[in-house]
Structure formats: C-alpha cells, structure tokens
Amino acid sequence: MKKLAAFFTMLVMLLAVPPAFALVDIEGRYWFSDIDGNIRFADGGTGTEIDLVNDLGVGDEDFFDARITLELGSHRLRYGFMPLKWEGRNTITRNITFGDQTYSASTDVESELRIDYHRLGYQYNIIDTLDNHLGVIFELKYFDTEAQLKALCPA
C-alpha cells in the first residue's frame, strides 16, 4: 500500500508542473504460448508435483497484453496488464494431493490456473535524442494468482 501511495504522490508532483506537451502511447500485443511445466500446491508441507499437460490436460493458450504510456517530456508513466489463464480437463492416472485435498487415480478432474500480471512504472530519460534513450526505469510488478483443481461428478 505504501508503494502505491508513493507512486500516486509522484504522479501528482509530475502533473502539477505540466510540460509543454504530453503524448499518450497505447500498445497491444498478442502472445502465442506453449505451456509445459509442473506445479505443487503444498498446504502444511505436503503436496504432489503435478505435470500441467500430462496430469491435468492443460492446453496451450494465446494471450493479449495491453500497455499505456503517458510521456511528459523526459518523464514517462507506464502501465501494463496481461491476464493469463489456462484450463484443463483430464482423468488422472495417479493419486494427487492438491492443497488439503487428495484425488485418487481414475478421477476426472477440471483445473484452472489464472495469473493477472500488472506493471506500473516510471521512466526518466537523461538523454532522449533521435529515439535513443539513456535513463532510469522504476517498476512495481504485481501478480495475482489463483489455481483450482476439482473432481467432476460422474454423469
């Protein structure tokens, strides 16, 4: 909370003395991703290492990344956001402990992994000539994550 208050204080100070011009730059990017990895959700020190693709059936997803920059002379305020989400459905072939829940082999499960990635930054260019920059960048990065695994009821 203190970091957020410091950022807004800096923003107010920059905007209090506006430069002769301000530019807004908006970017969008599309990401093609391949997921391959293991996770472990351990509650109290226990938990199974789970292969996202082979155990849970999680597939590849594509993502959109949005960024906005407010340029105030040599100062730039930047914000970026990328929501990431993977889902899977599979019949597990071994016992899996996820948190405080154990799922036995041959259980149909549904899974979701969600990550919201936020970037808030300040850039000061000491040298800014012909699109060549020399300066400093300070950024706060925040990841909001959630992972779920649930057994599906037999039909």
Q: What is the pLDDT of residues 100-122, one digit of tens each?
A: 888 999 999 999 999 999 999 99
* CA-based nearest residue to 137, from 153, 149, 120, 150: 120
Least confident of 4-8, 43-47, 71-75, 123-127: 4-8
Give the 3-state secondary structure of residue 38.
Answer: strand
For residue 100, count other CB atoms closer than 10 A to its CB: 11
Query: Structure tokens of 88?
Result: 């899977």
Residue 34 has a pLDDT of 87
